[in-house]
Amino acid sequence: MPARNNGSGGLMTMGEAKLALSISEEDLLRANVYRLLAHVLRAGPSRAELDTFACMTGDDTPIGKAVTALARVAAGTTPEDASREFHDLFIGVGRGELVPYGSYYLTGFLNEKPLARLRTDMARLGIARRDEVSEPEDNIAALCEMMAGLIVGDFGNSADLAEQKRFFSAHVGSWAKVFFTDLEGARSSVFYACIGQLGAAFMDVEGQAFEMV
Amino acid sequence: MAKGNERVAAGRRDFLKLAGVSAVTGTAAIAAGSATAEAAAPVEGAAGYRETDHVKTYYKLARF
C-alpha cells in the first residue's frame, strides 16, 4: 500500500508525473475518476481507501453530489460491508445481482460480438490482457482501467482525444451509464449505490465532453 | 494544432472544470497507487488488470 498523500502532489504516480507536461490537469482528473471506479469495481475497498473516500467533499454538480454521498456512506461502511456487497452484486451464488460485462449489456449474452470488437481495438492500440487473467476484457473495471490508461499513456503514448472518443463511444458509452444506474438501484447496493451514482454522473460528463471533441 | 482546435480543447477543459470532476482528486493517490501495485509485474503494452472472483462467476455464466 503506497503512502497516503492528500496534497496536490498526490495527483499522479511517479510514472505519470513525467507525462503530466503534455496532459491537461482536467484529463488527469478524468483518469483519476476512471481509476477509482476501476479499483472498487475490481474488489471491495480497504479501510484506508474508505477513510480517504470519507474525506472527499463535492460541490453542487451531479458528480459533486455523488462524491458527497460517497463520502458520507464510506464513513459508515466497513471493508467487510463493502466486500459483502461486492460479492452479492457481482459474484453471488450462481451469479451476482449484476453482470458487469459490455457484451452482456449490449446483447444479453457474454462473449458476443461487442467483446470481439473490443479485442480488435485493443490489439490496434497495443493493449493486451495479462497472460494470467482469464476474465474477458469487457468487464467494467477493465474498461475503466483501459480508459485511464489511454488518457495517461499506460500503454505507450497517451491516446489523443479523438482516439479516446472512438474507444469510449465504441466500448464504454453505449452501456456503462445503464450499468452504473443499475448499480445505483441494485438491491444489494449501499456503498456501491454511491459508486453507481458517481459512475452514472461521470459517464454523462464524459459523453458531453467528447461531443466537444 | 490549429487555433480552432485549441479553442475547442479549452472549451472542453472549462466544461470538465465546471462538471465537478476535481471533487474526486482526494482519492487519486490511493486509487492510482493501488491499481499499479496490483499489477504484479507490469508488462509493457499490457493492461494490468488481474484475475478476480469475477472470473469464476463468468465461467459459470458462460457454461464453460
A125 at the B interface (CB within 8 A)?
A: no
Q: What mean pLDDT, rounded, does chain A reach? A: 89
Range with the poorest average pLDDT among A6-15, A62-71, A179-188, A189-198: A6-15
> Is the pLDDT reported for residue A164 higher than 60?
yes
Answer whether A2 sits within 8 Å of B30, measured CB to CB.
Answer: yes
Residue A156 DSSP symbol: S
Q: Domain ranges for chain B, please list them.
A: 3-62
> What mean pLDDT do residues A29-53 have?
92
Q: For B43, left (φ over 0), alpha (ψ -120 to 50), or beta?
A: beta
CA A137 – CA B46 distance, rounded (Å): 12
B-chain residues within 8 Å CB-CB of A149? 47
Residue linked to cell 451469479: A95
Calpha distance B20→A63 (Å, rounded): 6
Arithmetic mean of pLDDT, A56-72: 94
pLDDT in tens, A79-96: 999 999 999 999 998 889
Interchain contact, B21 vs A30, CB within 8 Å: yes
Residues 8-47 of B with CB under 8 A from A: 8-9, 11-13, 15-39, 43, 45-47
Can you tell me the mean pLDDT for A194-207? Answer: 98
Domain layout of chain A by residue ranges: 22-211
Q: Rounded to an integer, what distance in angstroms lies between the CA atom of residue A181 and that of residue B14?
A: 26
The arithmetic mean of pLDDT across residues A34-59, rounded, is: 92
Does the beta-carbon distance from B32 to A16 stay under 8 Å? yes
Residue B55 has pLDDT above 80, yes or no: no
Under an 8 A CB cutoff, do B34 and A1 touch? yes
Q: Specify the fold of A22-211.
A: TorD-like (1.10.3480)
Report whether A12 contacts A28 (CB < 8 A): yes
Confidence of residue B51 (pLDDT cuts 50, 70, 90): very low
Q: In the block, which residue shows the cell 472472483?
A: B53
pLDDT in tens, A97-122: 999 999 999 999 999 999 999 999 99
- Model confidence at A131, pLDDT cuts 50, 70, 90, reads confident
Q: Which three cell numbers stand for residue A78?
A: 466497513
How far B52 CA lies from chain A's nearest CA (Å)?
7
Region A192-199: mean pLDDT is: 98
Q: What's the average model confidence in pLDDT over B23-42?
A: 49
pLDDT score of A156? 78
Q: Is the pLDDT of residue A33 over 60?
A: yes
Residue A74 pLDDT greater than 80, yes or no: yes
